[in-house]
Amino acid sequence: MEKISKDQVKHVAHLARLHVSEEEAAMFTEHLSSIITYAEQLNELDTTNVEPTTHVLDIKNVMRKDEPKQWITQEEALKNAPDHKDGHFRVPSILE
């Protein structure tokens, strides 16, 4: 049995904001199932009393002073955008 169903794959694709064709959904179902099966070897290890590691440095909550700084201009912020108008990014309609 596959570890993940084609419907789950389509749901995950929606969460990840990816469009998948039927063929791609079938391929990802197969690939993700085999990767997840492989990953389940981690269950051989008892980790009940093990703390998770998020990253290896002993650094927490690095703060800086809340001071305004010159960074980029509005014009610069917009210059690589696929579409913009009147100083704003423009996107297709959100509401039907």
Partner 1 sequence: MALFDYTIKQLEEKVHNGEITVEELVNASYERIHEVDDEVHAFLTLNEENARAQAKELDKQADKTAALFGMPSGIKDNIVTKSLRTTCASQFLDNFHDPLYNATVVQKLSEQKAVTIGKLNMDEFAMGSSNENSSYEPTRNPWNTDYVPGGSSGGSAAAVAAGEVLFALGSDTGGSIRQPAAFCGVVGLKPTYGRVSRFGLVAFASSLDQIGPLTRTVEDNARVLEVIAGHDAMDSTSADIEVPAYTAALTNDVKGLKIAVPKEYLSEGVAPEVKASVMEALKVYESLGATWEEVSLPHSKYAVATYYLLSSSEASANLARFDGVRYGVRSENADNMIDMFKKSRSEGFGEEVKRRIMLGTFALSSGYYDAYYKKAQKVRTLIKQDFEQIFQDYDVVIGPTTPTPAFKVGEKVDDPLTMYANDILTIPVNLAGVPGISIPCGFAKEGLPIGLQIIGKHFDEATVYRTAHAYEQATDHHKQRPQLGGAK
Binding mask 12-51 for partner 1 (x = CB under 8 A): xxxxxxxxx---x---x--xx-xxx-xx-xxx-x-x--xx
- One DSSP character per residue, 46-92 reads --TTPPP-S-SS----------------HHHHHTT-SSEETTEE---
Distance of CA 8 to the CA centre of its chain: 17
Give the residues lining the site for partner 1 (CB under 8 A).
4, 8-9, 12-20, 24, 28, 31-32, 34-36, 38-39, 41-43, 45, 47, 50-57, 59, 62, 64, 72, 76-77, 79-83, 89, 91-94, 96
